[in-house]
Amino acid sequence: MARHLLIRLQAPLIAFGGETIDNFGVIRDFPALSMVTGLMANALGWDRGDDTLHNHLQERMVMGARLDADGERLVDFQTAQLQANEKGWTTRGVAEERAGGAGTYAGPHLRYRHYHADMNVLVALRLQPAEESPTLDELAAALDKPARPLFVGRKNCLPTDRLMAGWVEADNILSALQLAQPALSHNARAQWPDGEGRLPDQQDRTLDVCDERNWTSGVHGGWRPLREGLLRFTSHAITEQGVA
């Protein structure tokens, strides 16, 4: 069996970003592989210029997630009136300006940002190869003492509790998600990589997800096969292990 790191993503607002179209920042139900890569890189103190480190860490990560609380969706409508001498701040580090003539400043600067409210997600993660740096132990230590403040998707999505949630020994990602006791005793939706376990009697389904980022070009591309299904828990499930 392999050791898996458990990560608890819980916050008043969470944004698992999906495909952004124009000024609509939509979200997914599950965290993207690229988002967890960025979370870990931020904890380790890497910056956006460390694209080789980001790409290699993402390639090594084998990850699945379980929704212990779905929460509810909400949309934050943001608006600001920008004049010709004003610019919009962006996370890209490049000020956003408007193309066109003076008439383009007659309308406001609009954004729609989607969020999950009161969501609770457990992530199970291992690295291949396991002995290469950063190791799982180094990632766990970075989550407890991050180089920079951590957030879940967007900078305003601050976690409410410790992200490092323990360890579990399991044959695969599905088993790791099944062995960790849920926050509430109920059934929970889960996603895990294809080839990392199956539910009995074909109770899961296959889907293709585009959630890998090319950290050099800064865009997402390609598809990877995942499985999704409903995990059923009882009061006898094994609890999360190894939390100090």
Query: Which residues sit opposite 74 in a β-bridge?
Result: 115
The predicted model gives 25-50 an average pLDDT of: 89
Is 93 part of a structural domain of the chain?
A: no
| Cα distance between residue 13 and residue 74, in whole Å | 9
Q: For 128-187, list the strands marked E by DSSP.
A: 164-170
Asked if residue 226 has pLDDT above 60, the reply is: yes
Confidence label for 236 from pLDDT (cuts 50, 70 and 90): very low
Confidence label for 155 from pLDDT (cuts 50, 70 and 90): confident
60-64, 65-69, 221-225: segment of lowest average pLDDT: 221-225
Is 99 part of a structural domain of the chain?
A: no
pLDDT for position 84 = 64
- CATH number of the domain at 167, please: 3.30.70.2660
40-49, 72-81, 88-97, 148-157: segment of lowest average pLDDT: 88-97
Q: Count of CB atoms within 10 A of residue 55's CB?
A: 16
DSSP helix/strand/coil, 50: coil
Domains held by the chain: number: 1
| Cα distance between residue 111 and residue 115, in whole Å | 13
Token couple for 174: 């599905």
Domain carrying residue 222: 2-77+114-231
- CA dist 92 to 48, 82, 96, 120, 173, Å? 9, 19, 9, 28, 33
Asked if residue 102 has pLDDT above 70, the reply is: no
| Cα distance between residue 110 and residue 21, in whole Å | 13
| Cα distance between residue 47 and residue 73, in whole Å | 30
**161-199 per-position pLDDT tens digit:** 899 999 999 999 999 999 997 755 578 999 999 999 999
DSSP helix/strand/coil, 230: strand
Is 167 part of a structural domain of the chain?
A: yes
